[in-house]
């Protein structure tokens, strides 16, 4: 069983905190804005960040070691898995009476340390007409895959938030 150790370093003189996650083989260091309140072992997830000041609507970011050694980069296999992902999300939404509005295509980019980060996601509308977005990012650190999942209302996934998130991912480091 993978032993998960999360260490939170709160830097009081700045608006950023850094989190270190250690898995069996790798570790991920990532920094986020201190606009988020952090929870350890929350709802079965090892580490969850929830945006503090957002009225009753919450933005959450979870960081989870997946147990996968690495992601297979074979394009045909990636497309097959992405097609399964879409079917799974469609079934999930249907059970809840939600509507899938669109999918964010499988994408990848390199961060400042040249680590490849993969992403996929979707936008859906809830029964109350609220539109949400869920995006998953995957980072491979020393043969260990970490998932960073963002869930928020689509209106909050704005340019400033997505820039902050992209900056955090771009500055992440594998140890």
Q: 144 or 129: which carries more pLDDT confidence?
A: 129
Q: Indicate yes or no: pTM above 0.85.
A: no
Mean pLDDT lowest among 94-98, 112-116, 123-127: 112-116
What is the per-residue pLDDT across 4-38, written as a single tens digit (0 to 9) for each?
A: 333 332 322 234 556 676 667 777 888 777 777 87
Helix H or strand E encompassing 69: none
Q: Select the CATH number that applies to the domain covering 5-174 from these four: 3.30.70.270, 3.30.70.1450, 3.40.1000.10, 3.60.9.10.
A: 3.40.1000.10
Strands 173-174 and 27-33: antiparallel
Confidence at residue 60, expressed as pLDDT on a 0 to 100 scale: 83
173 vs 111: CA distance, rounded Å: 9
Tokens, residue 123: 């936008």
Contacts 24+ apart (CB under 8 A), 132-137: 133/104, 133/157, 135/104, 137/169
Q: For the chain, which residues make up each domain, given as ranges?
A: 5-174
């Amino acid at each position: 069983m993978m032993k998960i150790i999360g260490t939170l370093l709160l830097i009081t003189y700045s608006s950023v905190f850094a989190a270190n996650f250690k898995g069996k083989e790798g570790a991920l260091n990532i920094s986020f804005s201190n606009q988020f309140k952090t929870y350890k072992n929350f709802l079965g997830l090892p580490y969850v960040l929830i945006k503090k000041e957002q009225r009753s609507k919450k933005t959450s970011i979870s960081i989870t070691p997946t147990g996968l050694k690495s992601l297979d980069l074979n394009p045909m296999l990636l497309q097959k898995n992405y097609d399964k992902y879409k079917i799974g999300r469609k079934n999930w939404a249907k059970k809840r009476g939600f509507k899938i509005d669109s999918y964010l295509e499988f994408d990848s980019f390199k961060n400042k340390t040249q680590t490849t980060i993969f992403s996929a996601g979707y936008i859906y509308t809830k029964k109350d007409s609220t539109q949400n977005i869920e995006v998953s990012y995957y980072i491979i650190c020393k043969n260990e895959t970490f998932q960073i999942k963002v869930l928020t209302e689509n209106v909050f996934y704005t340019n400033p938030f997505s820039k902050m998130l992209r900056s955090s991912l771009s500055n992440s480091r594998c140890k």
